[in-house]
Amino acid sequence: MTTPYGIIGDGRAATHFARYLSLAKIPHRQWSRKKSVETPERALRGCRTLLVLIKDSAIEPFLRAHPSLAAQRPVQFSGSLATPLAAGAHPLAAFGSRPFTLSEYERIHFVSEEGGPSFGELFPRLKNPSSALAKELKPYYHALCVLSGNFSTLLWQKLFKESARTLGLPRSAVAAYLDCVCQNIGHDPDAALSGPLSRGDDETLRRGLAALSGDPMKSVYEAFARCPRL
C-alpha cells in the first residue's frame, strides 16, 4: 500500500493540492485547525511527507509547536520563505475558486530550493516540471510573482467591475481582451506592450490621468506611466 501524504491546512493551496492528489489517485490525509478534532500528530500518523499549506507567518510557529512532525519530512509551499524546519517547493500558479483538471495541475511548474530535496524526490509520482532556486533569491522571485500575478489581478478586477457597472460592456468582451493580452505575453513578452506606453503617447496618458481623477487607481496609472520601459 502506498504511504499517504499529509496535508496541513484548508485554504486554497491545501484544497487544490488535495484535489490534485485525488485526481492522481495518490492517497492523502488532511488536517486543519478549524475542522479537525484530533491532533495533527494523531490524524497524520503514518504519513511520510507532510505538506504544511498554511499562511507563511504560521509555518514556523506551527512546526515549532509540533516538533515530532519533523520526522515526517515537512514541506512548505511558500514562494518567499526559506526555513530549516521544512523543505520548500513553490507552485508557480494562481489558485482561485475554480478547480483545475488533472492536466492543468500537471503543468504547474514547481520551484524548489537549491541544497534541498528536489521536487522529484518530494513527489516521485507527480509529473510536474520543476527547477531549483537559491534560497536567498526567494523573496525577490516571489515579489516578481506578486507584481505580475496578484497586482495585475487587481487591475483586471477593476476593469471587469467598471465595465459592468459604468461602461455597459459585456463580460465576454473583457474576457476576450484578457485572453488577447495573455496570448501576446506568452508568445513574445518583449514585444507584448501596446497602447500609449509603447508608443510614448504622453497626451493620451494625460487624458487617462484626468479621467481617473478621484479614483484610487489614478496613483497606480501615474506610477506605471513613470515606469522605465524594459
**So what's the pLDDT on residue 158?**
98
**So what's the pLDDT on residue 227?**
86
**So what's the pLDDT on residue 229?**
73
Return the CATH class of domain 140-226.
mainly alpha
Contacts of 137 (CB under 8 A, 6+ apart): none
- Domain limits, the chain: 5-133, 140-226
Q: Which residues pair with 29 in a beta bridge?
A: 6
The grid coordinates of residue 200 equal 510614448
**So what's the pLDDT on residue 145?**
98
Specify whether the CB–CB gap between 14 and 33 falls below 8 A.
Answer: no
**So what's the pLDDT on residue 70?**
97
Specify whether the CB–CB gap between 217 and 162 falls below 8 A.
Answer: no
Q: Please give the backbone phi and psi of residue 92, each rounded to the nearest 5 degrees, phi first.
A: -85, 80
pTM here is 0.92
Per-residue pLDDT of the chain (230 residues; tens, 9 = 90+): 689 999 999 999 999 999 999 999 999 999 999 989 999 999 999 999 999 999 999 999 999 999 999 999 999 999 999 999 999 999 999 999 999 999 999 999 999 999 999 999 999 999 999 999 999 999 999 999 999 999 999 999 999 999 999 999 999 999 999 999 999 999 999 999 999 999 999 999 999 999 999 999 999 999 999 987 76
**So what's the pLDDT on residue 1?**
60
Taking the C-alpha atoms of residue 188 and residue 51, their distance in angstroms, rounded to an integer, is: 35
CA–CA–CA angle 57, 16, 28 (5° rounding): 95
5-133 and 140-226, same CATH topology = no
Q: Which CATH architecture has domain 5-133?
A: 3-Layer(aba) Sandwich (3.40)
**So what's the pLDDT on residue 75?**
99
